[in-house]
Amino acid sequence: MSSRQNYKSNNANPNKRTSRPKKPPRGEKKGSLSNSKKNSNNSNNPNSRQTLSPQAASFVTPLTQSDIDLNTLRSQLRSSEISNLSSLPQILSVNVCKGNDRYIIVQITGSPDTPYAGGKYDVEVFFGKDYPKVFPQCRLATKIVHQSVSPVGVITFPPLPSPISASTPIKYIRDVILGTNPSPELIERAEECNKKNAIENTTPQDMTDPALNYSPRRVSSILGIKETDFEDYKIFYQPILTSTKKERVKGFVTMSSPSSSSSSTSKSGSTSILSKWSKNATLDPSASESVPSQFAPQNPVDALWSTLHSKRSAPLNYSSHSFMTLSHAISSPTLSAVRKTMGFKKMTLEQCQMLPAVLEGKDILVRSNTGTGKTISFLIPCIERASELRRQSQVSALIISPTRELASQTAEMANQLVVFNTDIIIDIFMGGKNINSEVARCEKGYPTILIVTPGRMLDHLERDEGKLEQQLANLNTLVLDESDQLLAAGFLPSIETIIQYIPMTSPDLQTMMFTATVPPSLHEVVSSTLKPDGYFLDADESKTKWGLSQFNIEKNVMLNSKSPAPLTKIEPITNAMKRAAQIAASRTSLGLDSTREKPATNPSATIANFKDMVGTSIVQHYVSCDISSQALMLKRLLSLSCARKDYKVIVFFQTARATAYFVSLMSEVHFIDVLEMHSRKSQPHRAHVSHKFKTEYDQVLFTSDVSARGVDYPNVTCCIQFGLPQNVENYIHRCGRSGRGIQGGLSIVLLSEFERFFLEELEEQGIEVPRLEVELGGEEEEIIKKLKGRMDVPKSKELLNRAKLHYQAWIGYYCSHTKRLGIEKEDIVNKSIVHALEVLGLDEVPAIKKSTAEKMAVDGIPGIRIEM
């Protein structure tokens, strides 16, 4: 590894050009919405760039009119909605989530002469993707007592009158929920309780402090909160009890402030606990620093800018439910590990759907977006099953992962989950490790949970003379993580071989498949692999975001085909697969896919809609340039994305060879050191790089698709995809490496002109990716001239060698996509010549082995040089 720091210029050599990105002066808020706000007034003006801050303007140029039209229209609509809301009586403020103007917080004050008088109530409003066709979703983020509001703030609305506008539900909340008393019975009970507490707590301060007046258990009995929901309710209540500390409540904190002890008076003249409960809920101040009080519509340029610099660009995806909600199905050692070792308090919204479903014990295919917490959702049932059966030295669960990185990561998480469960032993068999030591460990006793990569598992099956086979015959749980990849052409033969050893139809075996994308190619294999009474669960975050009613499901009937949870999209596997096949057939017959000849696996037919699969916290853009400036555009994008504090950037390349070449190019020509990760690197190197990228900030990782799926690198700020992705699924999984957890992320796909049809493929799946115009700076122009004139550009032997190998892999990659590209191999070869001479800066087109040319079926095509 080079000793140079990433992104540091090499000043020792005056001939070397610095690549350090220009950073704006300290203290200047590059991404603040005040910039966006200024710009937003001109968002439909092609010259709007002038109103960007000088820093923003130096990095990005405005979108073309046609690109921003749609966004502008939507933004304007939301903008006018916000200004309407702001002018309504009793609306104190309207705050827009930074970087995501679809999410707003409206603060309403309670009406006089009601128990809510003087209180301030935050209402979360989310303009869904179908807005303005459907009402925006609303939830009370401030705790109140009302018969139409659930303990977690879910509001029961009656059918609301048209026209659809954000004002309608807000007016309803203001006038009906906050404007009238809750049911007299509830008021009576609350006031009775208040009086009783007033006697017990004699000081006036106690009288006015709801935390002292009410214990969670007392309040929960008043509100009739069920025992199973009590834990969550307590957590919701906790910030009031500890109101001097900052505590998160669903992304908000309840702050103590001088006014928190001021009393308000209800109709009956008594001190109202109802209003005081909620008065001081505000946005987390660290997140709200730059949240403007007024709405500022954002065009994608601003969105890019603010995403690059924002701390958080989307509301949290956590539910209000702790893992304790499933204490009837998960053992205490596991629950303790989740809480104490992993530090997870609440389930994600998707885990709320996945965990009850998988704990049911049936075969299941689970689809859930990237970064939503699938790993523990399959690990927990593996652990629970294994600890229930307590079979010493026997494999209870087998987890198959497509890559070594993912297998290691899963093993790491599994080990954390079993810290209080000493009976359970985790082990991992994967390529790149010493197989003999794996065998030796098994001789001492088999692990309870075995995590494997497919190739290594086959090696073991071949050499251990039936002992592992015997283990598999008694397996209780089988997990195929990233199942669509494992069941696709590359891995399928290995998986088919492995599952021949497993009694797939045994009632004692639960098979779980987890993935973020369900391409049609999966349908048939899934149907034939899972038992017919299995399920398909589409854990779509939006389905439960505002509901969470699946928690009404009783123990042991958490999910079944007769009484499916109302808001969870779960259905028998056979139905799901049939339906998917029908969708595929109807789309084809409607000619929806006729624009381009497609390969046999038509990606447009999926069970779940692709467009919902990219997490909402990921802002997506594409950048287009001609083939010869691709490398410089990449450098430009790196400068942009590394300009923020604590950057972590992943750049995906199509092949291992391309990754290796661009690592050397960046280092030798542009003086940028990056981390290198692909299948041609040794396992220790991969482990080292993976650890470094996981734990350190200000890093750039160049990688092939070995990092595309499942790998959980925390806080990746930007993901760049260089060139045409393999397919839409691959694009989605790569995007998912950023925007994980609570962090927002930015995804940029860099396409040269002949690859722009990929945008159509995305659009067919409902994924609209706006264009971002990025100009090359003077520095890059200089380099272009040098490259074109082949002057002074240092080319080490290593760089030349890597360039030649990349050239060959480039032809191979594009030749395997001729159908999608709609061009012939001859055209690919012609483009490869431009690529070799103009992108790679080679003096001549490299010669390739005859056998390689034959394999790619390009031998004999003019332009291909064969090695003598």
Ligand X SMILES: Nc1ncnc2c1ncn2[C@@H]1O[C@H](COP(=O)(O)OP(=O)(O)OP(=O)(O)O)[C@@H](O)[C@H]1O
Residue ranges binding ligand X (CB under 6 A): 344, 346-348, 351, 368, 370-376, 516, 710, 712, 714, 736, 740-741
Cα 625 to Cα 472: distance, rounded to the nearest angstrom: 52
Nearest of 299, 261, 264 to residue 280 by alpha carbon: 261
169 versus 251: smaller Cβ distance to ligand X = 251
Q: Kindly state the smallest distance separating residue 131's Cβ from ligand X, in Å.
A: 27
Q: Kindly state the smallest distance separating residue 228's Cβ from ligand X, in Å.
A: 18
229 versus 482: smaller Cβ distance to ligand X = 482
Q: Kindly state the smallest distance separating residue 746's Cβ from ligand X, in Å.
A: 16
137 versus 375: smaller Cβ distance to ligand X = 375
Q: Kindly state the smallest distance separating residue 490's Cβ from ligand X, in Å.
A: 18
3-state DSSP assignment of residue 68: helix
79 versus 401: smaller Cβ distance to ligand X = 401
Q: Kindly state the smallest distance separating residue 733's Cβ from ligand X, in Å.
A: 7
3-state DSSP assignment of residue 94: strand
Q: Kindly state the smallest distance separating residue 516's Cβ from ligand X, in Å.
A: 4
> How, if at all, do strands 718-722 and 675-677 pair?
unpaired
Q: Kindly state the smallest distance separating residue 646's Cβ from ligand X, in Å.
A: 17
539 versus 805: smaller Cβ distance to ligand X = 539
419 versus 458: smaller Cβ distance to ligand X = 419
In what helix (H) or strand (E) does residue 550 lie, and over which residues does it extend?
A: none
Q: Kindly state the smallest distance separating residue 864's Cβ from ligand X, in Å.
A: 39
Q: Which tokens go with 671?
A: 């003086």
Q: Which tokens go with 3?
A: 């000793």
Q: Dihedral of the CA atoms 555, 559, 560, 566 (nearest 10)?
A: 120
Q: Phi and psi dihedrals of 516, rounded to 5?
A: -95, -20
The string of DSSP codes covering 771-799 is B-B----HHHHHHHHHHHHT-S----HHH
In what helix (H) or strand (E) does residue 712 lie, and over which residues does it extend?
A: none
Task: Answer for the pair 370, 740: CB distance below 8 angstroms, yes or no.
Answer: yes
Tell me the Ramachandran region of residue 302: left when phi exceeds 0, alpha when psi lies from -120 to 50, beta otherwise: alpha
The string of DSSP codes covering 109-175 is EBPTTSTTBT-EEEEEEE--TTTTTSPPEEEE-S----TTB-TT-BB-PPPPPSSP-THHHHHHIII
Q: Kindly state the smallest distance separating residue 584's Cβ from ligand X, in Å.
A: 24
Q: Phi and psi dihedrals of 194, rounded to 5?
A: -60, -45
Cα 201 to Cα 212: distance, rounded to the nearest angstrom: 8
463 versus 691: smaller Cβ distance to ligand X = 691
Q: Kindly state the smallest distance separating residue 513's Cβ from ligand X, in Å.
A: 13
Q: Kindly state the smallest distance separating residue 732's Cβ from ligand X, in Å.
A: 9
Nearest of 748, 714, 389 to residue 397 by alpha carbon: 389
342 versus 581: smaller Cβ distance to ligand X = 342
Cα 146 to Cα 174: distance, rounded to the nearest angstrom: 13
- First and final CA of the chain: distance in angstroms? 35
CA distances (Å), origin 320, targets 248, 316, 356? 11, 11, 16
151 versus 710: smaller Cβ distance to ligand X = 710
Cα 318 to Cα 545: distance, rounded to the nearest angstrom: 9
603 versus 710: smaller Cβ distance to ligand X = 710
Longest dimension (CA), the chain: 100
Cα 630 to Cα 5: distance, rounded to the nearest angstrom: 25
Cα 292 to Cα 98: distance, rounded to the nearest angstrom: 8
125 versus 382: smaller Cβ distance to ligand X = 382
Neighbours of 129 (CB within 10 A): 12
Q: Kindly state the smallest distance separating residue 370's Cβ from ligand X, in Å.
A: 4
322 versus 765: smaller Cβ distance to ligand X = 322
Q: Kindly state the smallest distance separating residue 375's Cβ from ligand X, in Å.
A: 3
Q: Kindly state the smallest distance separating residue 515's Cβ from ligand X, in Å.
A: 8
Cα 431 to Cα 429: distance, rounded to the nearest angstrom: 7
376 versus 675: smaller Cβ distance to ligand X = 376
144 versus 376: smaller Cβ distance to ligand X = 376
Q: Kindly state the smallest distance separating residue 409's Cβ from ligand X, in Å.
A: 7
220 versus 368: smaller Cβ distance to ligand X = 368
711 versus 724: smaller Cβ distance to ligand X = 711
Residue nearest to ligand X (CB): 373
338 versus 811: smaller Cβ distance to ligand X = 338
* Cα angle value 370/321/376 (rounded, 5°): 40
Q: How far is residue 744 CA from its own chain's centroid?
A: 9
Q: Dihedral of the CA atoms 587, 591, 595, 599 (nearest 10)?
A: 50
Q: Kindly state the smallest distance separating residue 486's Cβ from ligand X, in Å.
A: 13
Q: Kindly state the smallest distance separating residue 702's Cβ from ligand X, in Å.
A: 19
The string of DSSP codes covering 252-300 is EEEPP-GGGG---B-TTSSBPHHHHHHTTEEE-HHHHTT--SS-----H
373 versus 519: smaller Cβ distance to ligand X = 373
What amino acid occupies position 860?
Answer: G
Ranges of beta strands (E only) in 423-560 are 426-429, 449-452, 477-481, 510-515, 535-539
Q: Kindly state the smallest distance separating residue 479's Cβ from ligand X, in Å.
A: 12
Residue with tokens 């010259």: 47
Nearest of 161, 160, 157 to residue 149 by alpha carbon: 157
